[in-house]
């Protein structure tokens, strides 16, 4: 099981002036309990994240995805793009699914959104623990109709959610209309593969039985996510781990009052395989990551110290988005560990992974 990139729904906090940005776990005590939540509704949502990310899907499912998208009408594609594109608020469906235990399947979620008031959905999207208390209060006021608060929000919200949140607040009915139509359009297509997806998710949980029984909560999260180390946070009492097939190799993170949701990628071993010549996914990810000069320079920097995103970008004279892309590839290959404490995030080198590279290639070529 290999390290995976994470797509964040908030801006990574920067260190305060004068403080060195190394974060370490303080013992094995945890303030939270870890729960596993197997529901195909999560994959229904994630399968609509249509972007240029390099997903790890089986060839037949990639072909299915292309055909399903081609079968949509122009207006249906527009609704899905409005909800799940770069500036869409459809990511809030992951939190909504977690908060509604009765939502098990794709049809359950589509039915819920069909009757959910737009105001209730907006509250779910904005009820994000990563917001500063003052900003969260401002968002609640805007949601309740305070136009002055709405005017202040664009410059106070994290860049990652500002545009979809403002659009949702300004015109919630139009926003949820796109969402309802998009879900209904995609539902029959996803149902073609939903049974298969559920089997993969079930297999993943079976494979993790020993880990779940023996590892500490912090170590379990790091193992399952493939390199995200979540330091105990007194504000978090529940951590929900939801396996996902269509999100591979990404982790989707959402948060709310007292909880944190990780939609993590299923293990390579959970996937069916009929091609004996196919290289293991972890080998492909590893050598893809190593085949770039900038990524090798990042690894060289991390040999000396754990670093913040800003420090890496400054050292390489690259933009933060570019560095994030490279770090995503390195995490996917298991070469980098991400450590979170509150709103601070650091990156560190997984040295043991370097020694495994040659062994895995030799094992495949035997």
For 303-318, what is the mean pLDDT?
Answer: 93
pLDDT per residue over 27-56, tens digit each?
A: 345 678 999 999 999 999 999 987 656 777
Spatial CB neighbours of 81, under 8 Å, sequence gap ≥ 6: 50, 88
Question: Has residue 13 got a pLDDT over 70?
Answer: no
What is the per-residue pLDDT for 68?
Answer: 96
Phi/psi of residue 277, each to 5°?
-90, -10
Q: Which domains does the chain have, with CATH numbers?
A: 33-265 (no CATH), 275-365 (1.10.10.10)
pLDDT by residue (tens digit) across 69-80?
Answer: 999 999 999 999
Partnered with residue 261 across adjacent β-strands are: 240, 254
- Give yes or no for a contact between 242 and 261, defined as CB atoms under 8 angstroms apart: yes
> DSSP string of 103-155?
--SHHHHHHHHHHS-HHHHHHHHH--TTS-HHHHHHHHHHHTT-HHHHHHGGG
Say yes or no to pLDDT of 223 above 50: yes
The answer to whether residues 358 and 327 touch, using CB atoms and an 8 Å cutoff, is no
Q: Among all chains, which residue has been given the structure tokens 């899905």?
A: 80
Query: In the predicted model, what is the mean pLDDT of residues 332-353?
Result: 83
Q: Which of 68-77, 147-156, 246-255, 345-354 has the highest mean pLDDT?
A: 68-77
Q: What is the pLDDT of residue 14?
A: 32
Q: pLDDT confidence of 303, banded at 50, 70, 90?
A: very high
**Given strand 259-265, what is the order of strands in its sheet?**
6-7, 251-256, 259-265, 238-244, 33-36
Has residue 315 got a pLDDT over 70? Answer: yes
pLDDT computed for residue 21 by the predictor: 28
Contact indicator for 274, 267 with CB cutoff of 8 Å: no
Overall residue count recorded for the chain in this entry: 366
Q: Which are the contacts of 234, defined by CB distance < 8 A and separation ≥ 6? A: 31
Chain mean pLDDT for the chain: 85
pLDDT of residue 2: 39
Closest among 246, 199, 200, 249 to 224, alpha carbons compared: 249
Q: In this predicted model, which residue has the larger pLDDT, 315 or 351?
A: 315
What is the end-to-end Cα distance of the chain in Å, rounded? 21
DSSP string, 48-111: T--SS------HHHHHHHHHHHHHS-HHHHHHHHHHHSTT--TTHHHHHHHH-TT--SHHHHHH
Q: Is the pLDDT of residue 143 over 90?
A: no
Q: What is the pLDDT of residue 274?
A: 61
- Secondary structure tally for the chain: helices H, strands E: 18, 8
Alpha carbon of 199 to those of 196, 204, 207, 245: distances in Å?
A: 5, 9, 12, 10
pLDDT score at 122: 86
The H-or-E segment that residue 262 falls in is: strand 259-265
CA dihedral (306, 310, 316, 319) positive or negative: positive
Percent of the chain residues topping a pLDDT of 70: 89
Q: How far apart are CA 189 and CA 50, in angstroms?
A: 15
Mean pLDDT, residues 134-147 taken together: 87
Residue 253 β-bridge partners: 262
Listed in sequence order, the DSSP H helices in 231-292 are 281-290
Judge contact between 77 and 69, C-beta under 8 A: yes
Say if residue 96 is exposed, middle or buried (CB neighbours under 10 Å; 0-12, 13-18, 19+): buried
Q: How many angstroms separate the CA atoms of 21 and 14, rounded?
A: 9
User: Would you say residue 88 has pLDDT above 90?
Assistant: no
Q: How far is CA 219 from CA 7, 24, 101, 213, 341, in A?
A: 21, 13, 26, 12, 15
Is the omega angle on the peptide bond into residue 249 within 30 degrees of 0, that is, cis?
yes
């Amino acid at each position: 099981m290999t390290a995976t990139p994470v797509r964040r729904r908030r801006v990574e906090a920067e260190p305060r002036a004068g403080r060195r940005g190394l974060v370490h776990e303080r013992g094995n005590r945890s303030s939270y309990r870890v729960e596993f939540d197997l529901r195909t509704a999560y994959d229904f949502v994630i399968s609509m994240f249509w972007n240029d990310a390099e997903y790890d899907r089986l060839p037949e499912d990639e072909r299915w995805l292309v055909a399903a998208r081609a079968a949509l009408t122009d207006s249906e594609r527009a609704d899905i793009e409005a909800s799940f594109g770069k500036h869409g608020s459809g990511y809030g469906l992951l939190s909504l699914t977690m908060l509604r235990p009765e939502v098990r399947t794709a049809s359950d979620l589509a039915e819920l959104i069909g009757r959910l008031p737009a105001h209730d959905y907006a509250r779910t999207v904005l009820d994000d623990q990563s917001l500063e208390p003052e900003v969260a209060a401002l968002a609640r006021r805007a949601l309740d109709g305070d136009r002055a608060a709405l005017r202040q929000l664009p410059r106070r919200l994290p860049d990652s959610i500002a545009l979809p949140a403002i659009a949702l607040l300004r015109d919630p009915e139009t926003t949820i209309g796109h969402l309802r139509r998009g879900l209904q359009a995609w539902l029959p297509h996803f149902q073609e593969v939903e049974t298969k997806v559920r089997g993969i998710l079930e297999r993943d949980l079976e494979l993790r039985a020993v880990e779940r029984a023996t590892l500490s909560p912090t170590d379990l999260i790091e193992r399952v996510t493939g390199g995200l180390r979540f330091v105990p946070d007194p504000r978090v009492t529940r951590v929900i781990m939801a396996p996902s097939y269509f999100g591979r190799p990404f982790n989707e993170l959402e948060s709310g009052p007292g909880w944190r949701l990780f939609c993590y990628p299923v293990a390579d071993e959970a996937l069916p395989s009929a091609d004996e010549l196919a290289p293991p996914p972890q080998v492909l990810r590893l050598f893809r990551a190593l085949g770039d000069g900038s990524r090798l320079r990042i690894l060289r920097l991390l040999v000396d110290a754990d670093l913040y995103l800003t420090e890496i970008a400054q050292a390489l004279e690259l933009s933060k988005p570019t560095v994030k892309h490279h770090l995503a590839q390195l995490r996917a290959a298991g070469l980098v560990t991400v450590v979170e404490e509150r709103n601070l995030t650091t990156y560190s080198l997984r040295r043991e992974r370097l020694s495994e590279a040659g062994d895995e290639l030799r094992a495949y070529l035997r």
